[in-house]
Amino acid sequence: MTQVGEPIDIAEIVSDDQKHSKSTCPWHEEETQGQSEEMEEQDGDDDAHGSIPDNSGKKLGSNLTAARNKPPGGNVYQTDVVEIPYQQKGTVAYKEKGKPKKGLIYLEDEEDWLYDLQYAPHHLIPGNESLKGSKVVPYLGDETTIANYKKRESSKIKDGFSIGYDVNAAENGVWLPSPYALSMSNEWPSIPGIEAIKKKRKGIDLAASTEDFKAAYVAASIEVSRDRQFHMRHADYSAKVQEMLGAMGKRLKFLKSVCPVTKEDSKNSDKIDPPYGLKNRLNALSKRLEGFLIGKVWRPPLFTDDLTKQYAEDLKEAKKTSKDKPIL
């Protein structure tokens, strides 16, 4: 059973130790010179702003599969079904971005109904919402390398060099249950669809029941996937990961100022060799984040959807209520 722990502390993830040592400094890890090559943009999963993303994640999903990392059901496309006591009962017409659509209305039922569940590849370090513009970017490679991720700060790295990091690599991905099996056939209740339902006769009750269907689907998806978070919109998650990357960038800046390797390197140039060990540290961060998404203990604000967050809050409240209940 999933438990909700204390909010995540950056210090648990990134050290703020103001000391330098060879064992922790990424400039002391040698590697064959990385070639200057533009880092590919994140493919798919750009869902922090509220709209359901396209079901691509093609590169990440392909890389996960190539690494023999498959969803819980084993099939990349249709992996599971969930059983919940809600039935489709009618539709409502509405427009979204000027296009006519029909939204489904769901009502609670006495028997369970089967609904498809599809898993989606999630970027543990979101490229667009966390990595882009972060304090880590100037250390990933030269100007060519960071072109798709740079916002203001220029590269600190010599021309022709790179740490070889790829945001779409399998090390940065995890399969999570998603609404895509329903959303791709317009069966997942959207925000405009819910608002349209409210305008019908008895619309408030119908909208509430349809929202309850979504919550029930999410809860069943989490249980079927053995405590994997439900994946759709994750603005708070992305912001927290960017905060972690900011702490890493601050640490890199400090190490750059005291490391004998970078000091020697910067005598003849304002640019330095890459901190090759940074790639391993970013992959280690992804691994830590994965543990918070598919483990038994979830830590706020690392939730990959508001419905997952609500599920966790309801779980925490239910646990508290059961403890407060008197023994008869």
* pLDDT tens digits, one per residue of 256-305: 999 999 998 888 788 999 999 999 999 999 999 999 999 889 999 999 99
**Which two tokens mark 24?**
């922790």
164 within some domain = yes
Beta strands in the chain (DSSP E): 3-4, 80-96, 99-123, 173-178, 297-298
309 within some domain = yes
User: What are the percentages of helix, strand and coil residues in the chain, rounded to 5?
Assistant: 40, 15, 45
What's the pLDDT score for residue 30?
75
Q: Which domain holds residue 218?
A: 3-321
241 within some domain = yes
Number of domains in the chain: 1
What's the pLDDT score for residue 324?
54
Can you list the residues of the chain whose pLDDT is less than 50? 48-53, 55-56
Q: Is the bond preceding residue 177 a cis peptide, omega within 30 degrees?
A: no
Residue corresponding to tokens 């740079």: 150
223 within some domain = yes
What's the pLDDT score for residue 314?
87
What's the pLDDT score for residue 49?
46
The predicted model scores a pTM of 0.90
10 within some domain = yes
What's the pLDDT score for residue 56?
47
328 within some domain = no
What is the spatial distance between Cα 58 and Cα 121, in angstroms, rounded to a whole number?
8
60 within some domain = yes
95 three-state secondary structure:
strand
**Which two tokens mark 101?**
């659509």
114 within some domain = yes
